[in-house]
Amino acid sequence: MLKQLIGTLALVGLVGTGAAQAQVQEKSRLDEILARGKLIVGVTSEAPPFGFIDDKGELVGFDIDIAKLLAKTLFNGDDSPKRIELVKQGFAARWPNVESGAVDLGIQVTTILPDRVLRVAFTRQYIDSGIVLIVRKDSPFKRLKDLDDAKYTAALLTNPQQAERAKKFFPKAKTQIFDSVAAQFTAVKSNRADAAQLDTPVARWYVKQNPDMRIVEEPLVPPTNNAVFMKMGDFKMWLAIDTLVGEMTGGSLFNDYTAIYEKWFGEKPLHTKYYFKR
Amino acid sequence: MEWWIIKLRLIASIYPQMVDALGVTVTIAALSLPLAVALGAVVAVLRMLSPKPVSAMIGFWIEFMRNTPLLLQMFLLYFALPMLGWRLDGLYCGVLAIALQHSAFLAETFRGAIETISRRQWEAARALGIADSTALWHLILPQAAVRVAAPIGNQLLILVKDTSVVSGIAVLDLTLTGKIILERNAASFEVFLVVASFYLALTVVLGLLVRWIENRTRVMAA
């Protein structure tokens, strides 16, 4: 009995050391990043305000600023442009690019979804997302059900989720279907429609650009989380980045983070520790 | 074998929705087509018969309508007019935009055809004391009509395909309906083929009609 127990313990010890050795041998991507002196981040250039090309032809946005803050922190406050390389990638290319190592990590309006968790390593969330209604400021809508009347028109996108939500929350309202977010927004602004469903941060950005618009503060879906993502299996790298994201949204980097958030969304971060809100 | 059945079932399932959409596209084409031809003819004749300053203004109008994108003109009608308090239904915005732009192209086609008729015929008519407007109507236009039939047929086919721009202003035509179905079933290839086949059916019918009219005018002129 005792012999068996010792044997088992020895075996456990042996396996433990083996695993530890494997970890030491496998070089973390983090060491590579620090050695090369540059962080390579996959981003979008097609989704304002997260990543887009501005009037001057420069790649800017909330995700871009978060990437720059991450690089600056990794390299001890060095915010020179040579410390970061932004790789514009399509939404379909983001998974293969982190998998192959073409980029160190991705910051690309990417929502944590259960089926994605098995393919890629997410940090904790750096911003909330969700779906809200955008309406004209002078409109009477306070809650979703206020729109449920045949005299109102909701501007939808072509995707079926929007039609389902319209049927659920305001079945009596008329609907109009547009093929782009910009057209959907313009329809409400130009009084062609009375409300449009937009991603929460996108809606906040539009409202900041258009003071004659506002958001109906009753979300249509539970909040979702946008997160930084990277290749699975590199614990050292993941732990470092995840911890930094945590510091941004409610820790030592919170002031930098808040400044970025206010720059793009015109208000204080909504999804942080409650006592930070005031 | 299995593969075929799945595809056919998919196509059959989107068919009813596409037939509704076909109705919308046909409506837009049927309204904008005669409007464009009539407007084009009026503009062309006015330009020829008006005094210089008016004809120059008409020329400017034609250039503006020809040289700005149809989509943009339609967006102006759809999104900008309501801000001025004039709210036209999306379908009519589409009809108007398509008719206006194509009338400009057609006016130029008409003018070109009229100008190919020799100046001497005008001069001969004047020498006989026939008024310009009478000469135009009885002498020049019948000859021009024969020459103009083919290019107009061309223009009308383009018009029918141009009706797809209304998909940008929430009018449920063939194109927008195709896009909506696409978002639901992600079968891009099949849906685009079905949409294309509907347009093809439409333009083939129109093409036959144009050919028939072309032959008729030739017979009438002969």
Query: Is the Cβ of B90 closer than 8 Å to some Cβ of chain A?
Result: yes
Position B77 scores a pLDDT of 93
Position A9 scores a pLDDT of 52
Kindly give, in sequence order, each residue whose CB lies less than 8 Å from that of residue B127, ignoring residues fewer than 6 positions away: none
**B144 band by pLDDT with thresholds 50, 70 and 90:** confident
Position A2 scores a pLDDT of 53
Contact A204, A267 (CB under 8 A): yes
In the block, residue with structure tokens 């396996």: A15
* Weakest mean pLDDT among A51-65, A233-247, B157-171, B175-189: B175-189
Say if the ipTM goes beyond 0.85: no
Asked whether residue B100 carries a pLDDT value surpassing 90, the answer given is yes
Position A273 scores a pLDDT of 64
Contacts of A160 in chain B (CB under 8 A): 180, 183-184
In the block, residue with structure tokens 């290839």: B189
- Nearest Cβ partner for A190 among B82, B179, B183: B82
Amino acid found at A79: D
Asked whether residue B167 carries a pLDDT value surpassing 90, the answer given is yes
| CB within 8 Å: B170 and A160 | no
**Residue ranges, chain A, pLDDT below 50:** 14
Position A169 scores a pLDDT of 95
| CB within 8 Å: B170 and A176 | yes
- Average pLDDT score over residue span B3-21: 84
pTM above 0.80, yes or no: no
More confident residue, B116 or A1: B116
Contact B135, B125 (CB under 8 A): yes
- Nearest Cβ partner for A190 among B79, B180, B183: B79
Residue A104 φ then ψ, to 5°: -70, -40
Q: How many CB pairs under 8 A join A and B?
A: 42
| CB within 8 Å: B170 and A186 | no
Position A13 scores a pLDDT of 52
| CB within 8 Å: A160 and B179 | no
How does pLDDT run across B14-59, given as a tens digit for each residue? 888 899 999 999 999 999 999 999 999 999 989 988 899 999 999 9
Which class is B2-221 in CATH?
Answer: mainly alpha
Position A24 scores a pLDDT of 52
Position A271 scores a pLDDT of 64
Q: What is the distance between the alpha carbons of residues A63 and A49, in angstroms, rounded to a whole number?
A: 8
| CB within 8 Å: B87 and A186 | no
Minimum distance, in Å, between the CA of residue B17 and any CA atom of chain A: 15
Q: Domains in chain A and their CATH numbers?
A: 29-128+224-276 (3.40.190.10), 131-216 (3.40.190.10)
Supply the mean pLDDT for chain B: 89
Taking phi over 0 as left and psi of -120 to 50 as alpha, with beta for the rest, A266 belongs to: left
Position A72 scores a pLDDT of 97
Query: Is the Cβ of B180 closer than 8 Å to some Cβ of chain A?
Result: yes
| CB within 8 Å: A177 and B180 | yes
Sequence-ordered alpha helix ranges (H) in A108-253 = 114-117, 160-169, 181-189, 200-209, 235-250
| CB within 8 Å: A179 and B90 | no
Position B135 scores a pLDDT of 85
